[in-house]
Structure 1
Amino acid sequence: MLHFIEHAVFTLVLAVLISIYYKKGPQQFFRVIVLALKELPGVKTIIDLILKNEVSSFVKTTSLAQDVVKSKPRVLIPEKGFTAEDMREQMKNLQKRNANPERDGNVFAYQYTLYDDNYKLQQEAFDLFCEKTGHSVEHDELVKEFFHGFMHENALNPIIFPALRLMETEVVSMTSAMLNGNSEVVGFLTSGGTESNLMAVKTFRDMALATRPNIRKPNIIAPITVHPTIDKAAHYFGLEVIHTPMASDFRADVKAIEQAINSDTVMLVASAPQFCHAVMDPIEEIAALALKKGLPLHVDACFGGFMLPWVEKLGYPVPKFDFRVPGVTSMSADVHKYGFCVKGASVICYKNSDIRKYQIYAYSEWPGGLYGSPSMAGTRPGGNIAAAWAAMKALGQDGYIDKAKTLMDTTVKMIKRIKNVKGLYIMGEPCMTAFAIAARDPNINIQAVADAMETKGWKMERNQLPDSLHCSILPHHIPVADKFLDDLEDATNYCRDNKALAKKGTAGVYGMMANIPDKGIVTDFLVEFFSEVYKCK
């Protein structure tokens, strides 16, 4: 009898595996096999050891090797403090270790202003930018002055620091007006796009739980191209993200979004634009769907919020994406990107104060007094608020339009030239100062092209699924755009003639990752990577 049961179970499992293979394909089939093997005793331990070894080997191939791989004594607070002169010398040495996008114009993300490693402005890029936009040293120094002027103040208590409250509310007001919000639109400043998106998710989760008692496990419907901060927020706050596919034009598939909505859905998310390809999601269609289903729609405009309004005013075709669209409930926009402010400033806006209330945390039973906080952070640095206020007031609409024009001129020139590079193409229809480059020729591996570009000094941003290269066009690219385009054409031709490069370097790593059936292993690799590089021996 026992033998019969074992045989029946084996037959059933085999039938299920065969069904998965034919219905879902070999990728899903092997994923199931890997997941099953991971549950066997000792297998996970072996996988962990292999991952540690692979991460260690990978780190040795990066510029971090000198810091992470070499064994160093543990760092302690010095018994006697260094002098100011010693500290300034150490600062110069530390700054030299970082990438210098303003000096070389070689980075396509992360840093949107023109300060270099010595806190001076790279002269060629700066002079050209000033000539075209009216930008000046005085603006950057002014923003820095405001940051320093309020850097020790704390916006946690608006009664003690009313000036910070005033500046914050004015930044929110200016941002919401820029995004075509009416006088009812309200919000808060945050430390960046991650916190802004986290707050939107927290707000709509709490609002749904308070108004819809039948929700069991709240979920978010978002395109696969949505920024991972939405997934991060869901992970932190106990929600599920149901990802929907891209359409052929790399925009969100509205029909797929509608089909994914269920009784536990608490919000929809769209991007303006999505960062991967700088393509705008069909926000008007998604907003109409949100209204039909009675759901809030959060538009993540962290990347484009401080560029799209001015690009539209310049006459470029920009689909409606902001509070003009009925159904848009909240928006996030980063001042520290194309708002040209120092790092640590973003805005989260809501259609009205009734919605915003769900963002605020309050606790009344602490022996230390009554506690309330409008955002993730408790202590909220005043310098970031003041710098954001100063940047927006000093630039004004004319300053933002001039900057948008200059950067769009460079973007259009680069896109036009890239379209003429044999074997490459621009993905979708980019709507602002960014785009993604992919290979049309199957003999060209775009990740290998990125590796070749990095040997020429460029720091490339890589996309996957499908593979492509992301480029955000920033002020430091203005004087080096032509050199980048020349190098890109050379690198593309070189990789076409040397197909073996696709299996080497970072291109080989991306290729290997793409072929691993269980993406959980890739996730474990990333976790192990961060664990390794942040060691302080």
Structure 2
Amino acid sequence: MEHVGLSASEVRRRIAAELEDDVPWNRVLNSICTEPHPLAVEMAAAAARTNLGDVRIFRGTKRIEREVVRILLSFLGGPTGSGTLVSGGTEANLLSMAAARESARADGRLTDRPEVIVSSTVHFSFAKIFAILGLTPVVVPVDDSLRLPADEVLRQVTEHTVAVVATAGSSEFGVVDDVETIASRLAGLGPHLHVDAATGGFIIPFARELGRELPRFDFSVDGVDSITIDPHKYGLAPVPAGVILFREPEGAQRFAFDSFFKDTPTHHTLLGTRPGSAAVATYAVLEHLGRSGFLAVTRHNYEVTDHLVARLREAGHELFVEPQLNIVVVRMPHAARISERLEELGWIASTSTRFVETLRLVVARHVTTEMVDAFLPVLERARRDVAAEVAYP
């Protein structure tokens, strides 16, 4: 059957009708992404035609990408490092592991069974990455605080170890590993130390400046070799926008593939065609907000998080772990069904498939104290409904 073209007005109408079914941000409490900054949306649209895979044409866009990398390195204590914009945390983590493997090869340390030490709560993107790159995970159980234990990491290092992955803000719990201690244990041993800060990269530097007791995780820590950070999460950029950063100026060169076209630059990312709009949108937010603007956003997020925690405790709820970032995890029997019931009532929360008796609530810029106060009675209704279901199936 022939696919007949439609008028622009009809296309707009159909898309608007479908988008009406999307859940509004003021009912979303499960996402570490948020409504992007209006200026970022505007600038992304202005740069929709651009392609960072063809920098002979999009020269200004490439300069903007370099400036984004420079600014983020300055935020993360590595002004002389390198990096590139990517599609998100998964690609950034993949490039870090590819770089670690190639670094081991260059140093003569690559064996026939390269291994990477990770925590039992490492982000699930690494399962994809290890399958693609042929790396073997060595999984270390987290300790009672849900962190990667540095001493156990040291015990697991062998001649096969090419990398260790620490997490600066797990997506399940917002827990920050003790990167400084892990780095000190690895000093002189050779493995690449990567920090997955996709969640916490735009939170921790500013939260520390606001007086929150959070560990250092960035390039100010000796031994950190690479960092994943996602502007499309707490950086308020539209999806997709991720960044991989390396301590060394040549770090981004470890993953390198030449084009067969003359004058087309070597690719240092998995994607060839890359949306320049991501670089432009991220640059717009970084330049517009500056450090003071991100401090203000972070202050707001913690004020709302503290309010949520206080209200939950007033209602008699027990936290699964004390929140370090803006992720609140509550002990709750039948959490998965309660999450389903909340969705039926118009609200989106989440529960872990590994810690099934917990409800996970995420605070991002779109979440307000008023939204929290509107949510909590709905949560109690969902709990009552599920309790009745369980009692009288």
Do structure 1's residue 385 and structure 2's residue 276 form an aligned pair?
no
TM-score (norm 1): 0.69
Change (3 A) 1:214 1:449: closer
Do structure 1's residue 411 and structure 2's residue 300 form an aligned pair?
no
CA distance in 2, matches of 1:493, 1:85: 46
Change (3 A) 1:312 1:369: closer
Aligned to 1:8: none
Aligned to 2:8: 84
3-state SS of 1:328 partner? coil
What per-residue deviation string (whole Å, max 9, x for no partner) do you get for residues 185-227 of structure 1?
Answer: 1111111111111111111111112222551111110001111
Structure having greater relative contact order (Cα 8 Å, sep ≥ 6): 2
CA distance in 2, matches of 1:452, 1:83: 40
How does 1:29-48 map onto structure 2 within 5 Å? Answer: none
Do structure 1's residue 296 and structure 2's residue 185 form an aligned pair?
no
Change (3 A) 1:260 1:345: same
Q: Is the 8 A contact 1:193 1:302 kept in 2?
A: yes
Q: What RMSD, in angstroms, separates the aligned Cα atoms of the two structures?
A: 2.2
Aligned to 1:112: 34
How does 1:122-137 map onto structure 2 within 5 Å? Answer: none
Do structure 1's residue 170 and structure 2's residue 67 form an aligned pair?
yes
Aligned mate of 1:402, from 283, 287, 296:
296
Query: Alpha-carbon deviation of 1:493?
Result: 5.1
Aligned mate of 2:53, from 134, 152, 156:
156
Do structure 1's residue 474 and structure 2's residue 364 form an aligned pair?
yes
CA distance in 2, matches of 1:213, 1:284: 24
Percent sequence identity is: 26
Aligned to 2:324: 431
Which letter maps to 1:457? Answer: G
CA distance in 2, matches of 1:202, 1:435: 33
Change (3 A) 1:87 1:370: closer
Change (3 A) 1:160 1:243: same
Aligned to 1:484: 375
Which letter maps to 1:83? Answer: S
Do structure 1's residue 96 and structure 2's residue 20 form an aligned pair?
yes
CA distance in 2, matches of 1:308, 1:172: 18
Aligned mate of 1:348, from 233, 244, 257:
244
Aligned to 1:185: 81
What per-residue deviation string (whole Å, max 9, x for no partner) do you get for residues 46-75 of structure 1?
Answer: xxxxxxxxxxxxxxxxxxxxxxxxxxxxxx
Change (3 A) 1:77 1:112: farther
Which letter maps to 2:27? Answer: G
Aligned to 1:204: 100
Q: Is the 8 A contact 1:272 1:321 kept in 2?
A: yes
Aligned mate of 1:195, from 91, 98, 101:
91
CA distance in 2, matches of 1:368, 1:490: 64
Q: Is the 8 A contact 1:201 1:230 kept in 2?
A: no
Query: Alpha-carbon deviation of 1:426?
Result: 1.7
What per-residue deviation string (whole Å, max 9, x for no partner) do you get for residues 348-370 of structure 1?
Answer: 1100123221022225xx48886
How does 1:449-460 map onto structure 2 within 5 Å? Answer: 449-460=338-349
What per-residue deviation string (whole Å, max 9, x for no partner) do you get for residues 282-336 of structure 1?
Answer: 1111111222422211000011111211111111111111111111111011111
Change (3 A) 1:146 1:455: closer
CA distance in 2, matches of 1:148, 1:367: 29
Change (3 A) 1:381 1:106: closer
CA distance in 1, matches of 2:168, 2:286: 21
TM-score (norm 2): 0.93
Query: Alpha-carbon deviation of 1:77?
Result: 6.2
CA distance in 1, matches of 2:156, 2:388: 44
Query: Alpha-carbon deviation of 1:278?
Result: 0.8
CA distance in 2, matches of 1:205, 1:466: 32
How does 1:510-525 map onto structure 2 within 5 Å? Answer: none
CA distance in 1, matches of 2:314, 2:380: 9
CA distance in 1, matches of 2:291, 2:110: 46
Query: Alpha-carbon deviation of 1:110?
Result: 5.6
Is the radius of gyration larger for structure 1 or structure 2?
1
Which letter maps to 2:378? Answer: D
Q: Is the 8 A contact 2:116 2:138 kept in 1?
A: yes
Do structure 1's residue 334 and structure 2's residue 256 form an aligned pair?
no
Change (3 A) 1:420 1:184: same
CA distance in 2, matches of 1:492, 1:84: 46
Do structure 1's residue 445 and structure 2's residue 339 form an aligned pair?
no
**Higher helix content, 1 or 2:** 1
Aligned to 1:238: 134
Q: Is the 8 A contact 1:207 1:355 kept in 2?
A: no
Change (3 A) 1:370 1:342: closer
3-state SS of 2:31 partner? coil
CA distance in 2, matches of 1:428, 1:389: 35
Do structure 1's residue 309 and structure 2's residue 309 form an aligned pair?
no
Q: Is the 8 A contact 1:331 1:350 kept in 2?
A: yes
Query: Alpha-carbon deviation of 1:374?
Result: 1.5
CA distance in 2, matches of 1:240, 1:498: 44
CA distance in 2, matches of 1:345, 1:367: 27
Q: Is the 8 A contact 1:421 1:489 kept in 2?
A: no
CA distance in 2, matches of 1:147, 1:457: 30
CA distance in 2, matches of 1:431, 1:105: 23
Change (3 A) 1:406 1:359: same
3-state SS of 2:250 partner? helix
Aligned to 2:350: 461
CA distance in 2, matches of 1:192, 1:438: 30
Change (3 A) 1:445 1:358: same
Query: Alpha-carbon deviation of 1:260?
Result: 2.2
Aligned to 1:31: none
